[in-house]
Structure 1
Amino acid sequence: MASLAQRCPVARAGADAPPAPAHVPPELVLDTRFAAGVVPNDLVEPYRPMDVVREEDFPRIHYYPWPISGNQHGAWVVTRYEDIRRVYEDNALFSSEGVAQFQALAGETFPSIPLGIDPPDHGRYRKFLNPWFTPVAMNAREPRIREIIGGMIDQFAASGEVDIAYEFGRVFPVRVFLDLMGFPFTMFEQFLDWEWNILHEDAIEKKAEALRGVLAYLRGFIADKQADPDDTLGSYIANGSIDGKQLTEDEVIGMTWFLWLGGLDTVASTVSQMFRRLAMHPELQTQIREDKGLINSAVEEFLRTQPLVNSGRKVKRDFEWHGVQIKAGDWVSVFNTSGNFDPDQFECPHRFDPARKNNRHFTLAGGVHICLGAHLARRELRVLLDEWFDRIPHPFRVKEGADTTVVPSLLSIRNLPIVWDAEAAS
């Protein structure tokens, strides 16, 4: 049988890779960038290349030397569903301290709250924020979400064409988020520019410059809300207290910053990949259009098959895992890009099943740190499918000649023009 290196696009990290810590066995320092969600492809199933990292003779844990999970260093990587679940759920061994700590590049020391806080303090912050993100809260917000989505679709329905990624997907969820927080829509383009540089710019100084810009804006926003409170989430945080104690400056900026970071791109990227799949599979459009009872489970399947973020955790103590010595202070990254397709958890994992049951994927993370905005994301996607198939009731497709390349991660598709028979739709 051919060796793993012969069969698969996996090799030891080259001389251009950052150095690994001395305790990492050299044979486990592998170049799995193709599975990390950072290498673009134009496959109908963009996450297919990740299958190789679950093969029987692929190491259960390996070392990825490049910066990952918002850090500026490498990490151990697990790729199987059960190992990923352990990282998310074992809070005694794996810490969230320092996760998504981009602000450190600008010299800031406040944590990203609540993600960067371990239990039990994490629970206090989740309890404070949760009332804004419950299903009941989403019921109250749904009319506004529906108004935004329906109004935007009506603007282009008769034209028979829209860039679903740039003109729609990147806009509507941000409008919903800006409404929720109380940010002015005039900051839309500036926000996305800052975020793009933070997440995708390689030059550290450009990242730091964007961070300084957004944090200066957010601190001014907080001061305005403290001087003139209103009924928005931004004001609630700026003037908040927990157990009768006023939030500190670090707590206020930590929450405001983290919600800003998480509120701009996850749904936008999901929408782009969702419509790419729908446009390439007209039979799936027909199935959902003719049975809207599938929308809720279809949204879960879109989420499962489009894992955007590979999360990281810091190891609290030395331990051995799959025969490998892991040291306190090491980082472990989970490849949700692989775990969401683990056949030990999901039957026929690459078959898109809009009626799939017990769909316990990791796209929205897991354990106590499961995504705070999960209910909001789901509600936005469900309302979108409902409104879309009502207002554009005929098949759509990718515009001829359009680039369908995907970077299987955040901000994954910049442009995706789709077309339909506008005369029939009207």
Structure 2
Amino acid sequence: MPQSRTLDDIRVDYEAPDNVPKDRIVDLSFANGSEPNDLVDPYEPFAWLNSEDIPRLLYNPPMRHGLGAISGNQRGNWVVSHYADIERVYTDNDHFSNAGTAEFQRLIGETFKSIPLAIDPPDHQKYRLYLMPYFSPARITRDLEPRIRKVVTEMIDAVADKGEVDMAWDFGRVYPVRIFMGLMGFPEEMFEQFLDWEWEILHSGDLARMQAALRGVLDFLRAFIAEKERAPDGHLVSAIAHGRIEGRPPTEDEKIGMVWFLWLGGLDTVAATIAQMFRRMALQPEIQRTIRERPELINGAVEEFLRTQPILSSTRTATKDFEWHGVQVRKGDSFQCLNPAGNFDPARFDDPRTFDPERKANRHFTFVGGVHICLGAHLARRELRVLLEEWFSRIPEFRAKPGADTTVFPGLLSIRNLPLVWDVKT
């Protein structure tokens, strides 16, 4: 059973800014994916945070460990955990800004922006229009799906007769990155180096290691962009380098800003989703039986896996002073949208903790929302759909390997190893 907590249990004594009511100051570190559990629904411990009796604005003190401490960010943040409030933060561009989001490059003194993620309207639109054609459903169907299906069938066929695979390390970690590297035109021999750099940046929590990885990847990306400027090819980095933004060529900062952002976003999120998706099906086999018997539900099942496995909780910054839910918000205040609560809000989803592949109007926040909705959402969905289609046509009912540790961090850290087994026909 999930650990039982109440608001009183998580209240902390902290000298917050004077616009923060004392009774709103809580420690929500447990809800940010850093506390593992072994529940079938690993997000269940956060269920109560969207209850009607929970204040609509909570305040989380600054992190004393991890990136907050490393980057010198000693400010806390408001936390919104109800669907309607998360929706406002994601869509109200007059009051909430995305500037500065995920700009790890600042740790080594870089000043370019992560594009388009950290760009607000109206400039956001020109960058999104620049990149979106490469991630449109039509482009994915025409140019990427054949490669997606080829890669996934090769990987499944390689393990089908073995009756066993580490779905997290040997499959989920590899499959989406192979697709991403092919899209961008990156050399295959950089695969392990990319994953090492990404792990150091996002998960090491060590400033020196993060800085070394940042220097390594940015040096590589700048050299790769320069190479494509000299020798264009048919891949995305080359297209970015040789494209035009509103009739002009992109600046050097714009080129590295776009390629860096795509690199950072293309390596981890789908891998974490795959690991959690197959863990859920292994622990709750009726889900895989339903999908196997009714493959027409695959699209709906993918959306439900996404809803019930929100990998990230995004942040925004207040652009002005205003009052909200009886609290005075100040310009510069930070807001975190707690997607693991919002995606299960009973005010928006009927029977929210039940996995329902036939759920209608499944407008979850796993890909965020508003103008900053994930650029790669269509690609991620296609990768997951093709994976389920080909998996269930080749692999019988599977289960966690006896004795395997199925503990999961409910978030981006997810699960590093997930050994699955199935019965092979002889």
Taking structure 1 as the reference length, the TM-score comes to 0.94
SS in 2 for 1:159: coil
The one-character-per-residue Cα deviations of 1:288-312 (angstroms, maximum 9, x if unpaired) are 1111100001100000000001000
* Pairing 1:217–2:220 present: yes
Q: Give the counterpart of 2:129 among 127, 130, 139.
A: 127
8 Å Cα contact 1:339-1:362 kept in structure 2: yes
1:6 CA drift (Å): 7.4
8 Å Cα contact 1:299-1:378 kept in structure 2: yes
- Kindly report which structure 2 residues correspond to 1:6-405, keeping only aligned pairs within 5 A, or say none: 7=6, 10-13=9-12, 20-67=16-63, 72=73, 73-140=75-142, 141-392=144-395, 394-405=396-407
8 Å Cα contact 1:69-1:333 kept in structure 2: no
Instruction: Please give the alpha-carbon distance, in whole angstroms, between the structure 2 residues aligned to 1:182 and 1:85.
Output: 35
8 Å Cα contact 2:181-2:187 kept in structure 1: yes
Residue 7 and residue 78 in structure 1: after superposition, are their counterparts in 2 closer, same or farther (change >3 A)?
closer
Structure 1 runs, 4 residues or longer, greater than 6 Å off: 68-71
1:37 CA drift (Å): 2.0
Instruction: Please give the alpha-carbon distance, in whole angstroms, between the structure 2 residues aligned to 1:132 and 1:261.
Output: 17
Q: Paired residue for 1:420?
A: 422
Instruction: Please give the alpha-carbon distance, in whole angstroms, between the structure 2 residues aligned to 1:205 and 1:327.
Output: 33
8 Å Cα contact 1:406-1:413 kept in structure 2: yes
1:7 CA drift (Å): 4.1
Which segment is superposed worse, 33-42 or 146-155? 33-42
1:8 CA drift (Å): 5.6
1:226 CA drift (Å): 0.7
Residue 280 and residue 191 in structure 1: after superposition, are their counterparts in 2 closer, same or farther (change >3 A)?
same
Instruction: Please give the alpha-carbon distance, in whole angstroms, between the structure 2 residues aligned to 1:55 and 1:80.
Output: 8
CA RMSD of superposed structures (Å): 1.7
SS in 2 for 1:231: coil
Taking structure 2 as the reference length, the TM-score comes to 0.94
8 Å Cα contact 2:307-2:366 kept in structure 1: yes
- Gapped regions of structure 2 (runs ≥ 5): none
Percent of aligned pairs with the same amino acid = 59
8 Å Cα contact 2:58-2:79 kept in structure 1: yes
8 Å Cα contact 1:159-1:422 kept in structure 2: yes
8 Å Cα contact 1:268-1:411 kept in structure 2: no
The one-character-per-residue Cα deviations of 1:318-355 (angstroms, maximum 9, x if unpaired) are 11111111110111110001000000100000000011
Residue 287 and residue 66 in structure 1: after superposition, are their counterparts in 2 closer, same or farther (change >3 A)?
same
- Gapped regions of structure 1 (runs ≥ 5): none
8 Å Cα contact 2:19-2:327 kept in structure 1: no
Q: How many residues in Structure 1 have an aligned counterpart in Structure 2?
A: 416
SS in 1 for 2:10: coil
Instruction: Please give the alpha-carbon distance, in whole angstroms, between the structure 2 residues aligned to 1:13 and 1:273.
Output: 32
Instruction: Please give the alpha-carbon distance, in whole angstroms, between the structure 2 residues aligned to 1:379 and 1:10.
Output: 42
SS in 2 for 1:332: strand
Instruction: Please give the alpha-carbon distance, in whole angstroms, between the structure 2 residues aligned to 1:9 and 1:172.
Output: 44
Instruction: Please give the alpha-carbon distance, in whole angstroms, between the structure 2 residues aligned to 1:410 and 1:235.
Output: 29
Instruction: Please give the alpha-carbon distance, in whole angstroms, between the structure 2 residues aligned to 1:323 and 1:197.
Output: 41
Residue 329 and residue 8 in structure 1: after superposition, are their counterparts in 2 closer, same or farther (change >3 A)?
closer
SS in 2 for 1:242: coil
